[in-house]
Amino acid sequence: MEKSGFSPVGLRVLVVDDDPTWLKILEKMLKKCSYEVTTCGLAREALRLLRERKDGYDIVISDVNMPDMDGFKLLEHVGLELDLPVIMMSVDGETSRVMKGVQHGACDYLLKPIRMKELKIIWQHVLRKKLQEVRDIEGCGYEGGADWITRYDEAHFLGGGEDVSFGKKRKDFDFEKKLLQDESDPSSSSSKKARVVWSFELHQKFVNAVNQIGCDHKAGPKKILDLMNVPWLTRENVASHLQKYRLYLSRLEKGKELKCYSGGVKNADSSPKDVEVNSGYQSPGRSSYVFSGGNSLIQKATEIDPKPLASASLSDLNTDVIMPPKTKKTRIGFDPPISSSAFDSLLPWNDVPEVLESKPVLYENSFLQQQPLPSQSSYVANSAPSLMEEEMKPPYETPAGGSSVNADEFLMPQDKIPTVTLQDLDPSAMKLQEFNTEAILRSLNWELPESHHSVSLDTDLDLTWLQGERFLANTGLQFQDYSSSPSLLSELPAHLNWYGNERLPDPDEYSFMVDQGLFIS
């Protein structure tokens, strides 16, 4: 029997961020923490993934700003439907934003740039949540089975149990069976304390019950519970859900867009057991960690469940439910149908243009994979400084002979006409043309060498250059001082100037370098 205690290894993290750079970095960082990482560039996609595999993830990390869905909205969905811990991230650390995150139920709010040490400890949120579930169960006064479940769970989570892996095991199936048995056994305690997952159907019943009562503010948990007619649900479950629901409503009232979904819910036949089985899934008896050997357990789990909730089927329980098609305040739009196609058609954010959809990373275009500059190849062959100077000249079109470039040269960069024009070389300029930014560029005297004389903004640009260059010139000097060995200076004066002088080549030269060199555009 292994008593290794709790281990965060294999924690299944879902990262949601529309920034491809951050997504790549976070993936790498989380992998270094030995977590199992899934990345996602869109909130919609994330929700789909989460719903498809209800037990597929342990924790969600999401950025606050995303094009297709507000991160807070995603947070709400995840919290209400799946009850997974969610960590928010943003480059913006404004107190109001952080507060909003907390209000929406985030268990943490990280500021970008995020450090490894912050990611290393995210597992505590998962553990905390699980322990809370255990306490919830205890608090509900479970008879007989409660102790068993509690002990089982604690041992399970804290790693002192029979096995330390956190996947679904035989015990979990036994637990579910027990639940189902108790469910069908009329003499069993009516206070069934499975960990309640507020599935779409369940929440629907809840909402309908609330609607029936009339005003959600007057609706009490007991009344709602009675109306819902879900035998295994307790007053406490309803009470806590009602609390969340009220919070959600009040947020909506504060000027958030009210989204209404007409009842576009698909109906398919499935056994009433679905709901129970699925809530059984979410029971604490079934932890959701999977160690590397544990994947088979998840598969096993899905085998057992004939119709996972995430598929487009709904349990029969729902057919009794009234689905008022009209707009009502209490008909909240945060429970879209499970199937993604229905989801897409109903969600208003479908209208958001997918301009900023994350694109796949094009590794082929990385710096290192393109042809080196011809002059560069001879760089290595020659160690003599004078030769180096020679080699360095061509790629940079050094106007002043390359030995020393001073600040004056940069006042009028447009005077230096490079041998290649912007249009020839810079595909990004081409792209800009497509979008008609060329017009702006011309008028703003941005990158075109010949247009430096007329526009009023010109002087501003020059000033900018001037200011920038002063800064650089100063630091260039500092750099030269910085170099500790005088021999370096004497040996490679040109080189030092090249790197150290920090001259700011004009954008045209950049384009030249950029496209001759190793850049993707």
Map the footprint of another protein across residues 431-490, applying CB under 8 A: 431-432, 435-437, 439-441, 444, 446-447, 457, 460-461, 464, 468, 472, 475, 478-479, 482-483, 487-488
Q: Does residue 177 belong to the site contacting another protein (CB under 8 A)?
A: no
What would the x/- binding string for another protein be over residues 104 to 123, using CB under 8 A?
--------xx-xx-------
Question: Rounded to an integer, what distance in angstroms lies between the CA atom of residue 232 and that of residue 191?
Answer: 6
Region binding another protein by CB under 8 A among candidate stretches 80-88, 332-340, 343-351, 358-366: 358-366
CB of 90 to another protein, least distance (A): 8
Interface pick for another protein out of 2, 34, 91, 229 (rule CB under 8 A) = 91
Size of the site for another protein (CB under 8 A): 75
Q: Which two tokens stand for residue 252?
A: 């909506």
Bridge partners of residue 14, in order along the sequence: 38, 60
Whether the bond between 113 and the residue before it is cis, its omega within 30 degrees of 0, is yes
Question: Rounded to an integer, what distance in angstroms lies between the CA atom of residue 496 and that of residue 403?
Answer: 9
Residue 82 per-residue DSSP state:
I
Question: Rounded to an integer, what distance in angstroms lies between the CA atom of residue 98 and that of residue 461?
Answer: 38
- For another protein, the closer of residues 112 and 244 by Cβ is 112
Cβ contacts of 252 within 8 Å, gap of 6 or more: 258, 329, 332
Of 279-298, binders to another protein (CB under 8 A) are none
- For another protein, the closer of residues 214 and 427 by Cβ is 427
Region binding another protein by CB under 8 A among candidate stretches 19-27, 152-160, 326-334, 341-349: 19-27
- For another protein, the closer of residues 278 and 501 by Cβ is 501
- For another protein, the closer of residues 435 and 453 by Cβ is 435
Interface pick for another protein out of 34, 366, 386, 423 (rule CB under 8 A) = 366
- For another protein, the closer of residues 92 and 147 by Cβ is 92
Angle at 417 between CA 416 and CA 423, to 5 degrees: 135
Angle at 519 between CA 513 and CA 521, to 5 degrees: 100
CB of 386 to another protein, least distance (A): 14
In DSSP notation, 257-309 reads PPP---S--------THHHHHHHHHTSTTS-----TT-HHHHHHHHHH-SS-T
Strand 86-90 and strand 59-63: the pairing is: parallel
CB of 85 to another protein, least distance (A): 23
Question: Rounded to an integer, what distance in angstroms lies between the CA atom of residue 127 and that of residue 58?
Answer: 10
Q: Which two tokens stand for residue 114?
A: 């995020």
- For another protein, the closer of residues 417 and 440 by Cβ is 440
CB of 260 to another protein, least distance (A): 25
Q: Which two tokens stand for residue 156?
A: 């399970």
Q: Can you give the C-alpha Rg of the chain in angstroms?
A: 31
Of 237-256, binders to another protein (CB under 8 A) are none
Q: Does residue 299 belong to the site contacting another protein (CB under 8 A)?
A: no
CB of 303 to another protein, least distance (A): 33
Burial class of 113 by CB neighbour count within 10 A (0 to 12, 13 to 18, 19+): exposed
- For another protein, the closer of residues 262 and 371 by Cβ is 371
Question: Rounded to an integer, what distance in angstroms lies between the CA atom of residue 447 and that of residue 470?
Answer: 21
Of 406-435, binders to another protein (CB under 8 A) are 428, 431-432, 435
Q: Does residue 92 belong to the site contacting another protein (CB under 8 A)?
A: yes
Question: Rounded to an integer, what distance in angstroms lies between the CA atom of residue 323 and that of residue 205?
Answer: 10
- For another protein, the closer of residues 38 and 270 by Cβ is 38
Interface pick for another protein out of 356, 407, 430, 455 (rule CB under 8 A) = 356
CB of 50 to another protein, least distance (A): 23
